[in-house]
Structure formats: structure tokens, C-alpha cells
Structure 1
């Protein structure tokens, strides 16, 4: 019997030690080291005033009720170092400039895209992560950094699902929040920093409010983990945007029955010239700028209420209060219309081989222009690029994003929408159908179209925006258009050299590999390295401590399609085999495409 208790005690000790190890590694994510660049170079993509406006204009996200100054006062779980220290947040891939200082727009001296807002009638300043956090890039080479405004970010932002590897900003943030609340010494320091002279009067309420925010984070982490909602790890620079928006808007806010597995991570697209496209999103499913931006804000954490305090669906003008800021969203959109594509910096990355680029220009015309040089038409006084939509079976790239958006169905009947009212709204569903909408099984694109229409209407009402002004803020008088195709769009390639990795899911690390057959592409490679490869046009992919290994054999990560190889075209083969010297010529031309250096190329 004594032996039995000893064995039982030993197992208990082992279990506790194992739990301690798990907690330690969850609270100490394995992150890459951060080495500050010698200098951050900014291009003439827009003015410094536009840059700062884009970086720090709030859009109405609230990051689960987290206050701005709470975030800036948090400590790491096992030290007194500030969680929001720029050099620590940079380890997640967020962008800082070693020379940056706190300012009126950025009082806590946080990375690009971290800002704050107050809701009307509330003194609380919420942490607001805006679109600049995900749509600003940086390339590093020989100790120098080149900021790419409007380029894809490479941070690890969304996931709060705990793993022993760690590396996710969401997971690390939850660990710091929990350590602050449950460690009395940490909470004491935190409370005195946040409350200052109001410490005695506000301590009790602060602890209550902080716990409410922590509970929200923990509930999301548990829900996402328990339900296995995100089986394909996203890693740096990727998120399953539509999947997360749908799970937040239809699962969290309406019914658990609406949760769907999100296994289609996509890279953050670059934004220059986006406002000239007829359709946006990787699958070309959205049209109106304001609705697109409201959907993005809802996905990042803007509040949204479908029901009243008694659980009854809101009706009429009561639908749907949110924290989205339509005037600020329009201000960001206007700023992006002034954004220029980046220009190849010969002083940083090397001189252009102009004769080789001229050969590449001919190859581009022969092999790429039919998809990537869209026709331009005039619509309502603006020039619009009509992008080519390539069906999944033609382009052959990973289908999950396109098929999930088109095929997943959600039950929104609890909202009690009136079909006659929906028909009168500024929503245009394509392709058109004579079949009535079934509220028990709406696609994510259709469901979000009507949600954003109601949110948009209420936000305009709350902001006292006149009906005449609404058409302008919507963007070019466009309706909330929805195009449901199992396809991906081909966009213009100006500045494409600055937007690695490639394909919609970031599964091909360099342009050189994108121009190669799938058999010559890396099956696995490291993501999260900011070091640029100016020869192959992409980030360096060799192993590094704390890096994320992207495995292209996993569903959602496939690197198939968009192939140039011998044999019949179709099923992902879009052109003939390009010889290595032809690929190098194309690469040289893509460095200058759409920029001033293109005009300097000689005639062949």
C-alpha cells in the first residue's frame, strides 16, 4: 500500500511539473530575436503627413475591450519588462523605427497600426489595431530597412490558441493579461501605473473591468481550441480573414452552430492602386470600399450587437450598433488613393540590368500581360481596372479560400430579417438568382453583405452623415456588391517585387519560384525573416531561431498552380516552361514595371 501511495504521489508531482512546463512555454513564446536596422528608409510613396495619418487613424476596433493604457502598462509574465516595449513587439513582426518617439498620435510609442479611440459618450480609450498594422511591409538588406507603405505585413497577430511553440501575439498577450491579474505584485504595479493619483478610488473597479476583458480573451482561446476552428497554422503574415470574420460575426455573435473550420489562411494583400479595381478581396468578392472596410474592422474586433439585453433581435433603426468609425474609415481610404507603388531602390538593392529587363518586357507581354494587364474603362468619372477572374480549376492554386467563401453556409434566421426589406437595400448580389434567399443557409459573402449594410446604415445615423454624403463615403456611389465565384483575381504587378511571399496563401517564397514548375518550388520553408533576397525577389527562407515553418503539403498551404511548365495548359499550368535565363529576364523587368525606371529601358 505504501508503494502504491508513493507511485501515486510521484505521478502527481510529475503531472504538476508537466503542467508547469506547459504554462512556462505558453507564457514564453519562442520568438525570433530582434536586431534594429541601421536605418529605416522611406520612399516617396506619399507624404509624411499621409503616412502618419494612415499609421495611427483608428477604425473602431476594440481588441476585446482592452484599454490603450492597460496595454501599454502590461508586463511580461516572468519579468517586469513591458509587454508593449517596441523592441519586444518587434519580435512578433510588428514594425517600429528605432528613431521613433512618442507623439500625440502615438503617445505610448507603439508599432505601426497600434492606435486608440473613444466611443461617443465614453471616457475610455480602447486599443485600436487598424489596417496599417497588416498592410505595411518592410524589407531588410545588409543592415538597412526599406519601409513598404501599403505592403503586406509579416507579423504573427491573430491566433490565441495556446501551443507549446508559441510565437503568436494573441497567445502572448493572453499570457501577460493572466499573469497581471493573478500575480498580486504585478497587478499592484499595473494599477498604480494606470490609475496614478486615482489609485485608491479606482483600484476595485479597475480589477473588475480588467477581469472582464481577460475573461473574454480566455473564452475565445478556449472556444477556438476546443472546437478546432483553425487547424492550419497561419504563422507570420497570414490570416484566414473571411473565416475569422464569419466565426466572429455569425458564431460568436449569433449561434455556436455557425462556427466553421477556417483552414484557408491568406497573405495580407498590398494596397496601392486597389481603389481602381472593379472587385477586391483575393476571390474578387467585394466591391464597395466602405462595406469592405467595415467588414475588415468587424473581423479585427469592432463591437457588434445583434440582440437587445433580453436576447431579442434588434429591429428597424435599432440595427446594428457597433464601434466602427465611418468617417475615419473613409479618411484612411482617401489616403490610400494617394499611395504610389514602391520603386526599386538601386542604391539599396543593386542596379537594374537594363538590357536584360528589356528582354523581360517582351517575355512579360508574351506570357503575363493577358492576365495581369487588365482593360481600363471609365465608370462614374473614374478609371476602373477590370480584373480577370481565374476559376480555381484553371489557375490551380489552393482552393480552400475560394470554396469556403462560396460553399460555407450560416443560419442567420435568428436575426429575423424581412426579405422584402433586404430587397430594398443597397446590396447587389451577383450572379443574380430568381431563388429567394434562405436565411437558414446564407453564404458568408451574402451574410456579411447584409450585416455590413445594416452596420453601415446605423453608423452613418450615429455619426449624423447625410444621405448625400453617404454616397461619397461609400466610395464612388457603389452599391455593396457581392460576386460569388470559385476563382481568384489576377491583379496588376506594379511593385510586385516588394510583396513576397506569393500566391494568395503565401505558399511560394520568391518570384523566381513562382515562375518555375511546382516541382522546383520549396515544399517547406521558413517564414518570418525580414531579410530580403534581391536576386530571387523574396524573403530569405533559410532556418532561423524562432522562425515559422510553412508546410505546403497541408490543406490551405498548397503551392500548386500558376505554373509555367512543359505540357498541355490547364489544371494550374498557365504557360510554357520558362528557361532559367528567361526567368531572370522577367525578374529584372518586374523590378521596374510601372515605375520611372521602366521608361529608361532600351528597345530590343
Structure 2
């Protein structure tokens, strides 16, 4: 018996040691140290007022019910430093101004950003006297930054380089949600941390026991939600492909959140197709948006984005029964703010090459590149401007309207997982008690119009989210007293909530593309030069998470660095194949002839100034060879 006891004690101590090691790694994330740039340049993409609104206008999201002042008062797990300190959040890839590192003076606190938080962190109240909730705005994921020789260039509307979405704990660490959860746990569990937290939140050095208990009671459900989500996502294996910095499986996550969390656990689906955060300039002109061209109404797109980031949504009542009639579906989305943000995006211009920081453009090489672009790229990337009277002109009031070229995955050859998941995953929405005849009167247009009645037992994600969004939109407008005429304007040109499910990806116009690495929808190609190269000349694995920019190759530097995330193109959803220029048969992702290294350099040089009149007017005319389709080889 004594031997058995010693063995059990040894097993217990070993388990305790392993648990302590795991806790250390989970709570001590492997993320880069933040080194502030010497200068921060804001490009003339729009005026400062629009920029401020974009950064800090709330959209109605909640981070698991976390209050704004709770977030700003959290302590880091292994220090007394605040988790929300600008330098700490910058380690996770969130963007700050170096000026934010200086101590805040009481009279200099920004009312739009009282917590001195990074771009995209805001707050809102759901009622006049309710708490202020932490709100993550669209700018958190759609603002980029490039750094070179100690200087930084902000890219408004560009691609973020953080890992805000990831919820699954890993020993490597590095995800914002994982780190925040550990800060919540340590703050809640350790008396000295909770005392400091309570003093900050309650704004007194000696809070009463009753006030501290009420605060603890309020924090408990937030902690339960954070760790409940992490457990659910981990033990179900929902996100096997690590997203890493700059990516999220946005469509898969919102589908799991809406159909799995709210309706039935049977609706959870594996989401293994992370995508880059796409750039936002010019999107108001696009006839169809999203990587797979699946949506068209601006308001519905923005409501869906807000739901995906954490806006509350009620599908069932407190007894678990479906909400019916006018009771459907209350949500915390702020439609007035979403409309204001969408209107501001009409002002957003593509970024212009900052020659004073990145070096001057080689005009001779760029001129050659323009001719090569017209020969090899313009056929897909346009822009293809519709003409009034065109049969597919979706919104006559929108001028201009650009037709997006949708390239089948079998042609473009890039990783099909994203498009396949959206097109093939289906969900059982019968518990919501929808009636088919009422769906026919919703503000939803399915392309193509289905020939058979919808089967609510296996409805696609795109269709299901479209109808839920329509109900949310309808309820929000009604609650706000918005007239039908104003609703049409706020929706965006009177457009319906359009739905398409194509096994294809959008070839968007390329103004400002130089500022949006890494490339392809899944971020599998680190720079423009490699994107124009054969697949066997592309890196099969590289590090991401650094903001260091290489102006020659037009992409992030990819060498190993402390805290970097290793991107492996062999992982499901991460393939770097396709969009290939190579001699031979035009199939399996080969879309054009081989480009010599000099031709690739010329194209890269032109892509740095595409759409920039100040440079385009200085380029010389070079004859453009005709585009040739090349052999298909059966």
C-alpha cells in the first residue's frame, strides 16, 4: 500500500508540475516585444475627423460582456502592470501612437479614447444608465501599419496584424483572447490583484466589502463566458488551423456563434479556412463583396461583421423557445453608427506610396510594369466600370459601380477551403420556427433564385445568416423608428441582402495593393514579387507578426524573430498554390505566361503607384502586348 501511495503521489506531483508549466506558457504568451517607431506617418487617405470616427465609433459589440473600465483595470498574470497598457496591447499586434506611451495628463484625456487604448477599441452603452461595454470596432481589423528603418506608416482601411479572433488555448500562446482570459482569471482569483482591480474600477482606495463582492459577482459570468468559449472550441476541435496574426476564419466563426452557440450544438462545424482581413478602400463601388463575392448590401455586411465580433443576439427566449413575430431578433448592433461609418468609407482613398520613407519609384521600370499589367493583370483586376443601363447594374444610384471578376477556384488554383466551406456547410435552422412564406417576403435576394423550396433542415451558412441579418435589421429599424425611405438609404442604394455561393474568389482592383501584405485570400504569399513567381519559388513556410516592411519586394520581412508565428503552407487552408505565372498548360492555377525576374520587378514597381495620379502621369507609354490565353492542354 505504501508503494501505491508513493506512486499516486508521484503521479499527482507530476500532473501538478505539468499543469504549472502549461499555465506558465498559456499565461506568458510568446509574442514580440514592442519597440515604438521614431515617427508615425498618417497618409492623406481622408481627413482627421473621419479617421477619428473610424477608429473609435462603436458598432455595438461586446467582448463577452466585459465592461470598458474592467478591461482597462485588468492586471497581467505575472506582474502588477495593466493588461490594457498601450505597450502591452501593442505586443499582440494592435496599433498605437507612440505618444500614447507617455503618461496621460488629466486634462489631456481623449473623450473618444478615455482608456488610452489602441485603434479599434471603443465603448458603448446599451441604455442611458447602463454600463459602458468594451466595443471592438471594424477599424481594429481593418487598419494596417508598415515599419521601415524605425519609422511607421499607418494604412487606414488596410489589413491588421493581430490574432484577436483565436480562442483556443495553446502552449505557444500569442492570441489576444487567450492572454486576456488569463488576466481575467488571475485578477479574479488572486486577492491582491483583485484588490488593486477593485480600487481602480470603484475609484476608491478603500472599497467596501459589499461593493467588492458585487464587482466580483459581475466579473464571474464574463470569466465563465471566456473560458466556456475556449473549452467549447478546444474540445470540439473547431479551429484546427491556427489563424495566427492577421487572419481569422470570420465566416466559420460567425456561423458557429450564431448556429452553434444560439441554436444547437449539432450545428457546430470545423472552421479551418482563415483569411486575411481585406482592405476597405473602394468597396462601396463593388457590386459584390467578401472574398468569395457572397454579399452585396452594405448594412447587412456591417451587421454581420458586428455579430461576428461580439454584438449580442437573441434568437431564443429565456425558456429556450424561439422568438416569433415582432419579438425577433433583438441585437446590440448600432445601426446609426454603422451607417455613419459606411458613409465615411466613401471618403477613404487608397494609400499612396510614401517615397520619403520607402524610397523613390523607378519611373522607367514602373512604365514597363504598367504595360505588363495591362497585358497580364487588367483582364481580371480591372476595374471593370459598369455603364448605365447594363443589365447587371445592381444599384443605379451608385456611380461608379464596379463589376467584380469572380474567378472559379478550379481556374485560379488558390486554396479552395474558404469557398468550399461557405458553399458546402449546412445547418439545421428548424428550431427557429421560420415559415417559408414569410422568408419570401424578407428583404433577401438569392442568386440564382432557387428552383426548389428552401430546406430549413440543411440551410447553407450564407442563406441562414442572410435571413437572420434581415430579421435583425428589420427589428433594429423598427425599434429606432426609421422610416422605410430612410431604411433604403441606410441599407445602401436600396439594395436587398444579396446572397451568392460561388466556388470562386474575387479579383478586386489593385490600387494600394502594395500596402496590404501578405497576399492571396489566406495570406500565404508574403510579398508581391513571390505572388508573380512560380509556386516552386515561393516560401513554403515563413514568419508573420512583424510589421517590418520590405519596400523592394513589397511585403513583410519573413525571417525568424522572437515571438514570431511560423506560417506553414502545408496546413489545411494555408496553401500558397495558384495565381501562378508559368509557361505551359493554363490549368491547375496557372493563369499566365512565365514572367522573367525583370518583368516581375517591373510589375512590382508599377503596383506601388497603380491608381496614384501623381505618379501615373509621369510614366511613359510602353507598347502593351496583347493578352494571349495560352494552351489549355485538354
Q: State the TM bucket, normalised to the shorter chain.
A: over 0.9
Q: Does 1:487 align with 2:504?
A: yes
Gaps of 5+ in 1: none
Q: How far is 1:434 from its partner?
A: 1.6
CA distance in 2, matches of 1:285, 1:14: 51
Q: Which residue of 2 aligns with 1:222?
A: 231
State the SS of the aligned residue for 2:134: strand
Match of 1:546 among 563, 582, 606: 563
CA distance in 2, matches of 1:573, 1:510: 18
CA distance in 2, matches of 1:306, 1:261: 22
CA RMSD of aligned residues (A): 1.1
State the SS of the aligned residue for 2:303: helix
CA distance in 2, matches of 1:309, 1:20: 39
CA distance in 2, matches of 1:3, 1:433: 71
CA distance in 2, matches of 1:285, 1:461: 26
Matches within 5 A, 1:352-501: 352-377=361-386, 378=388, 379-382=395-398, 383-501=400-518
Q: How far is 1:120 from its partner?
A: 2.5
Q: Which residue of 2 aligns with 1:304?
A: 313
Q: How far is 1:4 from its partner?
A: 4.0
Q: How far is 1:202 from its partner?
A: 2.6
Report which stretch shifted further, 457-466 or 140-149: 457-466
Judging changes above 3 Å, is the alpha-carbon distance between structure 1 residues 582 and 125 closer, same or farther for their aligned structure 2 residues?
same
State the SS of the aligned residue for 1:55: helix
Paired residues, number: 604
| Contact 1:93/1:156, CA 8 A, preserved across alignment | yes
Q: Which residue of 2 aligns with 1:99?
A: 99
State the SS of the aligned residue for 2:615: helix
Match of 1:186 among 193, 205, 212: 193
CA distance in 2, matches of 1:196, 1:579: 65
CA distance in 2, matches of 1:128, 1:87: 20
Matches within 5 A, 1:105-144: 105-144=112-151
1:478-525 C-alpha deviation (Å, 9 max, x unpaired): 000001111001000000000000000000000000000100000000
Match of 2:207 among 165, 180, 199: 199
Q: Which residue of 2 aligns with 1:39?
A: 39
Q: Which residue of 2 aligns with 1:56?
A: 56
Q: How far is 1:203 from its partner?
A: 2.1
Q: How far is 1:602 from its partner?
A: 1.8
Q: How far is 1:49 from its partner?
A: 0.6
Q: Does 1:261 align with 2:279?
A: no
Q: Which residue of 2 aligns with 1:511?
A: 528
Q: How far is 1:157 from its partner?
A: 0.7
Q: How far is 1:122 from its partner?
A: 4.3
What TM-score do the two structures reach when normalised by structure 2?
Answer: 0.94
Report which stretch shifted further, 230-239 or 426-435: 426-435
Match of 1:347 among 344, 347, 356: 356
Match of 1:535 among 516, 535, 552: 552
Q: Which residue of 1 aligns with 2:391?
A: none
1:102-157 C-alpha deviation (Å, 9 max, x unpaired): 40000000000000000024421000001000000000000000000000000111
Report which stretch shifted further, 94-103 or 589-598: 94-103
What TM-score do the two structures reach when normalised by structure 1?
Answer: 0.99
| Contact 1:30/1:546, CA 8 A, preserved across alignment | yes
1:273-314 C-alpha deviation (Å, 9 max, x unpaired): 011000000000000000000000001000001111122111
Q: How far is 1:418 from its partner?
A: 1.0
